[in-house]
A and B are shown apart, each in its own frame.
Chain A
Amino acid sequence: MKNILLIDICNEKLGFYEFVKPIKDILIKNNFKVIIRHYTKLRKRDLEKIGKVIICGTALYDDKFIENIDKFRWLIDLDRPVLGICGGMQIVGMVFGGKLCRGTEIGYYNEKFDNDFLGLTGNQEVYHLHNNYVDFSNLDFEIFAGNKIVQSVKHKEKEIYGVLFHPEVRQKDMILNFCNLK
């Protein structure tokens, strides 16, 4: 299914333009059908009609979603591919039992991908904008990039992916590769 559900986790209305709309624009340009829901307004039936889910990021200051992690428990039983971006990756990690840690990275950083991750390999210059990350070390996730601060993961059994950086800035194809997964 070409339907992609974008989940907006911004508490600030202005955050939508910076963290959800750029991803929406990439998908629309590539002929995907996009449905956008704020995480506080997500209904069970929203998850039934879609092919894949992307949980978008949010502004540094805007991290109220951390207090509402219970609103993302549906991730555990969902049988659709999910990509969590930045705050979205933190949500994925916390729902599956990971601990939230403090660690700030802002701007371009080089990250090395030893194995192919949704088309990313070798050294990549990625855009970071986060004050937190999740410790994935003892979870059922394979780590693709990042040493102390884990940058990209995939669940060992499920089609659940996470990236701490913002692929909508420099790695737009990665988002499309996720959306085109069979």
Chain B
Amino acid sequence: MSNSPSDPALAPELVEGPGTDPLRPSDHADGTREITQPQLGFVGWLRWGWRQLTSMRTALVLLLLLAIAAIPGSIFPQRTADPNGVIDFQTKNPDLYPVLNGMQLFDVYSSAWFSAIYILLFISLIGCVLPRTKHHFKALKARPPRTPARLSRLDDHAETLRPVAEGTDAGASAAHIVDVAQAQLRKAGYRVERYDTAAVGGRPAVASVSAERGYARETGNLVFHAALVGVLISVGVGGGLTYTGQTVIVEGDSFVNSLGLGYTSFNPGRFVDSEALPPYSLTLDSFDVSYVPVGESGQGMAGDFSANLTTREPGQDAKEQSVRVNHPLDMAGDRIYLMGNGYAPTITVRNPDGDVVFREDVEFLPQDANMTSQGVVKITDGLSDQLGLVGFFYPTAMTLHSGALTSAYPALVSPLLTFWVYAGDLGIADGTARNVYALDPSEMTLLAGSTSDVAALQLEPGQTVDLPNDMGTITFEDNTANGGAETVKRYVSLSIHRDVGAPFVLAFAVIALLGLLAALFVPRRRLWVKAVPADAGVRIEYAGLARGEDPAIAVAVADLQRGLETALDGEKA
């Protein structure tokens, strides 16, 4: 079993060992020797199970299983990546959904079966890497192995006969040749060891050097696998300390980093203290965007998004910074990402007496590339009835042949706002949480727009129109009148992340890549040079043995021979 390089057996790697041996280099081809199993007790079975789990074959099967198990996550929508897709799937396939949901096919990467595969894989990996590390540690301290008796039996070998000058001692000459070879090998980065044998009986004295290089191959292999464990731990631990939150800021408004104040949604990891978020605030001064002009290819395409913020941290001066796509803002350890943008028309509603009962920047959600947007206004108090308005906003309004309105361009060329008006019960009196972007009209009466006889309300910036049934008036404020740059305010949606694990994941991934490079490309090989006094001089034998994948072993032996002979010829001259 033992296959340590210090093994006195000659060229032990020529003897194939059992396949479950974890001490082999990764690219070692296993032999086919049969193992006869003894009777196993409980501990024996445990050990057998452990051997099976940590065997290369099991690791391979687990790897392939992992590849197959990952695929469903790309076929079915996943809750983490595409929650709306899951809801959509549920609506469209009400019968299939519970079955697939029971199989955790909408949470593949946190499912029991996927977790089982990768946890087993990592146990197998650790079980394989630990003993190999121990073995490699020993190998690093060991001397290169004894020179095999018959170098000519190795695949890559060469032999030359070198005449010695008259009167020179062939034995001393042989030792000198090996001295030169030893120096060359050492210079080439090999670890070297002399194995000279004195003349015994009829046999002449033999000088030989054994050289080994490429320990970095196994080091790299171990580092790679250990770094993968590091990646997994960083992801796991980091996930517990990570939080992500979303917020929306309208131009001129501020966000305060505190749960309950600023966030529209917040997803903390298991160990996050939501009460102790770093204190800072963000004010959206302006939002820049450019659109490809009409007539050019990609007309209306938006780009160069930039949310220009004033950021404030305790004890520091306010700073003007911007968040752009690909360029998140670092803020007290958080990273702030620009996720979306839209228009937020300022709406004022007055009762018949002219008192303001509602005045807000209402965020409208974009529905298409030309920023046709939809928003909802809910007026709970101050009017004769609760009022629900479903609005459409067209930054560049245009009438289709069908008579329907659409937006032809995303910029504010001819902005138009339309409202359907519902009156009745908004359904918020009982305290149930309601989506601010959606209206449930089931308890309400349609007063204008849609299927009603009354046309939908239409407003341009600065315009005021009457609400149906003399309920009051509604105004679409012109923002330029209040010193704004554009007629309609814009808003941005920001995503705020803290991911303490990410830098560690990156570091381990880079270490893994470096380890992989060493493990795949550093050749591990042994070379031998032996000099034996012969009839007409000294017979020099060269041989090389690749340990693992090494396409250049033959070249290495040829180079060794050429290098040594050039050096010896140089000495002679």
Whether A associates with B in a native complex is: no
Binding site for A on B (CB under 8 A): none
Binding site for B on A (CB under 8 A): none
